[in-house]
Homo-oligomer: A and B are copies of this chain.
Amino acid sequence: MNVGDVSRRTLADELATGVVELIREQRLEPGGQLDTVRTLATRFSVAVPTMREALRRLEAMGVVVLRHGSGVYVGENVGRSVLPNPHSPILTGERLIDLLEARRTIEPPIAAMAATVRDPDGVARLTETLDEAEQCLRLHDERLWIVNLEFHRALAQASGNTVLAEVVDSIVLVHAQEQREILRLHGDESEDFAEHQRIIRAVVDGSADEAFGATHEHLTNVIDVIRARNLGSEH
């Protein structure tokens, strides 16, 4: 996205924009159904493969979903500003540290906001992920790493700031495998869980400073573990 770019746009690009505008005019929400590919092609006076190219663009952004045999639907990302790149390379070394340090920069103030706002739904969702994590711990369920991702996403949503929520969502999801590996390297799931508990308690108590500190400390611990491991693996 180049602000001053005046290069010629393809028809597929124009059509993608046109479809998004149609979604907006029809006030369709995520999950809502659009016209069929063939009807959209007729509507915009183009061939079906051309409309398909446009829809593939939108599909890549999660703005639409094409269901074989069913139709075209509005995707969850239609209102989003920031997206994860599903083709992002696996982060290692310094890039992985960058990721964690970025999270350590962004997530503590998010936790403080969540403690300040104390939205009942946000808090409920947070507590829910904690319950799920506890169950995974008890049952030695390897889905724990997924539940941990959900915890961080829920925390960001509990901040009440949609842009920050999208940012954390994007970072956490696009590097889900890395997060999985990080939990493995951490080696102490119970301690990780306890740190999440401490963060939630601070949010529930409305203690913004404690929430900030707990989150910062939690992510610092993670960074330290990964740093030590990286140094180890490079000898």
Chain A residues proximal to chain B, CB less than 8 Å: 1, 3-4, 8, 10, 12, 16-17, 20, 24, 49, 52-54, 56-63, 66, 68, 77-89, 91, 95, 98-99, 101-102, 105-106, 109-110, 113, 146, 149, 161-164, 167, 170-171, 173-176
Contacts and interface: CB of A to CB of B under 8 A. Distances in A.
B106 A162 contact: no
Contacts of A81: 84-85, 88, 91, 99, 170-171, 174-175
Contact of A87 (B20, B49, B87, B173): B20
Given A56-B12, A58-B60, A161-B98, A82 B85 contact: yes
A86 B163 contact: no
Contact of A101 (B79, B80, B161): B161
Nearest to A67: B7
A162 B80 contact: no
Contacts of A99: 81, 163
Name the prevailing secondary structure of the A interface residues.
Answer: helix
A87 B109 contact: no
A16 B79 CA distance: 24
B98 A162 contact: yes
CB-based closest 10 A-B pairs:
A102-B163, A57-B60, A60-B60, A56-B56, A20-B87, A81-B88, A53-B56, A102-B164, A105-B109, A82-B170
A35 to B, nearest CB: 18
Contacts of A66: 10
B57 A85 contact: no
